[in-house]
Amino acid sequence: MDTRQKLMYLAIGLFIISVFVFSSISHNKESVSDNNKLTIINSVQTTTFSAKKRSATTVSKVKSTQTVNTTQKPNNTTLLSKTTATTEIVTEPLHININLASEEEFQLLHNIGPAIAGNIVRYRNENGEFNNIEEIMLVDGIGQAVFEEISPYIYVESPSYPEDDEDETAAEDTEDADDSVEIVGEEALAEQIYPININTATKEELMLLPDFNETVADEVIRFREMAGGFRNINELLYIKSLTRSQAAGLKDYICFE
């Protein structure tokens, strides 16, 4: 074998060796690359699993919080509505005898306070028992509006009205007039004309009544024309120019028929 052949075999051998070495290096690189890929994949999977686990934990916490919130105790309004009991109050109707009632009993009436209750009792003590419930309007502090509110709750046993007494008085006076002798003097004349029928008297006749003047007489005439006449002495309270005491003092001087 000559030198040329030796060199050729040597070159072939070196080529084979270099190919083998290159193949080995390539295989090692691929192994390393595969290992790196596996490492990366494992890392990604681990990260993903951790994220899912944290997400699941968060969701679990949220659900737990929601459960706690939905199981809170009801508010005070709900509790009160459940525990409040309905109580039925039974009261008896108020019915007061104004000739017997005390100040405390009068104060049970609507719009009657201690002052007015005291006025009622004082009036009753000074003037005697009330003849009817309308007479209570002669008490200071009780007007038509208050009377209308309390009238369903007050009463008088065996009520009487001035017009009944006045009719009897008028009849007696007529009989006395027929049998009497001629009376002279202003005082005698006054006794003869009383009682005056307030529903038919002229303005001049009305002015003969105590505490009457032209103004009061005009008011009386206007009222009786508007209302169709007076029915009892209590309706004199509608005459603004007369006080309660003045109206009460006319009892023996007027009649209504």
Taking the C-alpha atoms of residue 95 and residue 129, their distance in angstroms, rounded to an integer, is 17
- The residue type of 239 is I
Secondary structure (3-state) at 102: coil
Q: Could you give the CA distance from residue 84 to residue 86 in angstroms, rounded to a whole number?
A: 7
Continuous H helices in 71-161: 76-83, 103-106, 114-127, 144-150
Q: What mean pLDDT is reported for the chain?
A: 73
At residue 230 the predicted structure's pLDDT band, cuts being 50, 70 and 90, is very high
- Select the CATH number that applies to the domain covering 96-155 from these four: 2.60.120.10, 1.20.120.1200, 1.10.150.320, 3.40.50.700: 1.10.150.320
Share of the chain above pLDDT 70, in %: 59
Per-residue confidence (pLDDT) for residue 10, from 0 to 100? 83
Peptide bond into 93 cis (omega under 30): no
In angstroms, the CA 15 to CA 145 distance is: 136
CB 111 within 8 A of CB 207: no
| Mean pLDDT value of segment 229-246 | 89
DSSP character string of 19-78: HHHHHHHHHHHHHHHHHHHHHHHHHHHHHHHHHHHHHHHHHHHHHHHHHHHHTPPP-HHH
- The residues facing 255 across adjacent strands are 197
pLDDT at position 54 over 90? no
pTM score over 0.85: no
Higher pLDDT, 166 or 140: 140
Predicted confidence at residue 14, as pLDDT, reads 82
Amino acid residing at 250: L
What residues does CATH 1.10.150.320 cover in the chain?
Answer: 96-155, 162-255
CA-to-CA distance for 166 and 253, rounded, in angstroms? 9
> Residue 71: phi, psi to the nearest 5?
-105, 15
Per CATH, the number for 162-255 is 1.10.150.320
What is the Cα–Cα distance from 222 to 203, expressed in whole angstroms? 11
d(CA 31, CA 23): 12
Confidence of residue 210 (pLDDT cuts 50, 70, 90): very high
Q: Are 115 and 141 in contact (CB under 8 A)?
A: yes
- Residue 118: which pLDDT band, with cuts at 50, 70 and 90? very high
The answer to whether 198 touches 247, Cβ cutoff 8 Å, is no
- Does the structure show a pLDDT above 60 at 141? yes
- Indicate if the pLDDT at residue 202 is higher than 90: yes
